């Protein structure tokens, strides 16, 4: 069987060339390729693609920055896929770390300069028997659900359609248009939904006010999904117990921002998927999708331009 020509840009790396070859593809120049693996951002993406290009694989899982460019409009006949799901395990692991750290009062323990057992022990919780809302039960959300199940957590999964998620620990699946029903019913919230116009400030003052004073809010999606000003107010007032953020709005979070000084806020610098892990995971995703393309099967993480992700 003749290998399928696949272009690679803007940077050709041995890791991605190997990923293409392993799947039945052959690294090729753009003008004779049937697909393009793009490991960069929107800047520098070709204004025009050769007529033979049928599919483009993008490097990022979140593609909101691409919707601010004319790329999708210019290439309406080309299938675009994201890397959604490729980095799920690494990000889910980081998410679980933040959630457990919050529930077990790790920030307060790390800040302590003395034995504070009487003060901290009564504030410590557990995920066993706790109800966790996973808002955005896609690749990352499902990985997290699998990690929460052995800990005894109950999950209310929120997805776009409300189609039931049959996984251990999931007690209910709620469609996104019924999200308002869950806030007073859960112990903790994990935000893992895509960033679109509809999901901006998905968690705001009204939502935070309905959570419990023992609730932790974890955001590993995009900063825009949480109203930062409302979150700072809630953290200061003790409306919720705390927040774990790998993404912020604005991002990078500037020096001197209140979130840096709040004792019940944990901020990591958008490194739940560090480069050394991301490169390998993306190469595995490329191998899977090139194999599917070569065999004429459905591609993973196809971008729905109308939906915005």
Residues labelled catalytic:
222, 251, 270
Residue among 99, 50, 60 nearest 80 (CA):
60
For residue 98, give the H/E element and its range: helix 88-103
Residue among 275, 215, 270, 278 nearest 248 (CA):
270
CB 13 within 8 A of CB 39: yes
Secondary structure (3-state) at 248? coil
Q: Contacts from 256-264 at CB under 8 Å and sequence distance 24+?
A: 258/232, 259/228, 259/231, 259/232, 259/235, 262/232, 262/235, 262/236, 263/107, 263/108, 263/111, 264/107, 264/235
């Amino acid at each position: 069987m003749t290998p399928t020509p696949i272009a690679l840009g803007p940077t050709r790396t041995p890791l991605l060339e190997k990923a293409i070859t392993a799947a039945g593809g052959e690294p090729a120049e753009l003008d004779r390729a049937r697909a393009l693996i793009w490991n960069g951002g929107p800047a520098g993406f070709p204004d025009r693609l050769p007529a033979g290009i049928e599919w483009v694989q993008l490097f990022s899982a979140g593609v909101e920055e691409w919707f601010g460019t004319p790329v999708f409009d210019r290439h309406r006949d080309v299938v675009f896929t994201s890397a959604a799901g490729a980095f799920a395990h690494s990000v889910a692991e980081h998410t679980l770390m933040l959630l457990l750290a919050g529930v077990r009062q790790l920030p307060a323990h790390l800040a302590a300069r003395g034995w504070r057992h009487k003060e901290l022990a009564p504030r410590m919780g557990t995920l066993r028997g706790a109800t966790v809302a996973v808002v955005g039960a896609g690749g990352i959300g499902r990985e997290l659900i699998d990690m929460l199940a052995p800990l005894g957590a109950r999950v209310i999964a929120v997805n776009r359609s409300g189609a039931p998620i049959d996984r251990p620990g999931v007690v209910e699946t709620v469609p996104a248009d019924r999200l308002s029903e869950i806030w007073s019913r859960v112990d903790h919230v994990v935000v893992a939904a895509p960033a679109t116009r509809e999901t901006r400030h998905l968690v705001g003052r009204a939502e935070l006010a309905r959570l419990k004073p023992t609730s932790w809010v974890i955001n590993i999606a995009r900063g825009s999904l949480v109203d930062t000003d409302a979150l700072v107010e809630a953290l200061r007032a003790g409306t919720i117990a705390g927040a774990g953020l790998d993404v912020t709005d604005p991002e990078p979070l500037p020096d001197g921002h209140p979130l840096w000084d709040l004792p019940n806020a944990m901020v990591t610098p958008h490194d739940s998927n560090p480069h050394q892990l991301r490169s390998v995971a993306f190469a595995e995703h490329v191998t899977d999708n090139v194999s599917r393309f070569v065999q004429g099967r459905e591609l993973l993480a196809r971008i729905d331009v109308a939906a915005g992700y």
